[in-house]
Amino acid sequence: MTSDSSRSAPHPTVKRIPAYLAVLKELEEAGQVTVSTTDVARRLSLNPIQVRKDLALTGIAGRPKIGYVTAELIAGIYDFLGWQNTKDAVLVGAGALGTALLGYKGFSGYGLRITAAFDAGKRLIGKNIHGRVVQPMDELESFIKETNVRIGIITVPPEAAQEVAYQFVRAGIRGIWNFSPEKLAVPDQVVVQNEDLSAGLALLSVKLSEKLGTTPV
């Protein structure tokens, strides 16, 4: 055991891991049996030392001069992220964004399967979206309890988000993937991951202004 397992993994590192996974999968498909961090770093415009340190978290060791066994590293990353066992999730809010997520093929590669969709709007209930029939909100809590699902996805308008979060928590959801711009109040034992478009757009705006020389003040 190389790393101190009591310290939790640094967030910046965790966020880079999926990019490593994508590159490694590509290289594996191209028949590359071993891979060096120099190579991975170059493909992602990163520092090789950083890549090495990040990948050390998986517990997979490389060999000097040789590098890492591609397949071993891929398996190590799946283990690290817990993506080797597919986890079920429920989605609430079957609007445009919810529909997009329900139709997204890539989640199977990320160990996620959205098993059910719910919505408050009568117009959407009963509609089949990419193989899942939209269910009414008053069935949400019993569904979560019965199927023991632990991940909830929120794609409702901001004013409805907190109420959905309350229902999630009451029913036993432990991880919330929040696509609404609303900050959610949840108890300590529940984790929230916010996907905030406005933060990304703010960064794009500022980087763009800097690049264009139009200091935005």
Partner DNA sequence: TAGATTGTTAATCGATTAACAATC
Sequence-ordered alpha helix ranges (H) in the chain: 11-29, 37-44, 48-56, 70-81, 96-103, 140-147, 158-171, 197-212
Tokens of 103: 């139709």
Tokens of 79: 């283990």
Q: Counting contacts by CB under 8 A, is residue 18 touching its own copies?
A: yes
Q: Counting contacts by CB under 8 A, is residue 131 touching its own copies?
A: no
Chain contacts with DNA (rule: CB under 7 A) = 2, 10-13, 36-38, 46-50, 52-53, 55-56, 61-68
Among 68, 118, 168, 177, binds its own copies (CB under 8 A): 177
d(Cα 190, Cα 208) in Å, to the nearest integer?
36
Stretch that binds its own copies, among 27-35, 47-55, 63-71, 181-189 (CB under 8 A): 181-189
Q: Counting contacts by CB under 8 A, is residue 5 touching its own copies?
A: yes
Site for its own copies in 40-99 (CB under 8 A): 43-45, 59, 79-83, 87, 95-97, 99
Least distance to DNA from the beta carbon of 49, Å? 4
Q: Using an 8 Å Cβ cutoff, are 23 and 37 in contact?
A: no
Tokens of 33: 């049996």
44: burial class by Cβ within 10 Å (0-12, 13-18, 19+)? middle
Using CB under 8 A, list all residues that contact its own copies: 5, 8-9, 11, 14-19, 21-22, 43-45, 59, 79-83, 87, 95-97, 99-100, 103-104, 106-107, 110-112, 150-151, 174-175, 177, 181, 183, 189-191, 193, 195-212, 214-217
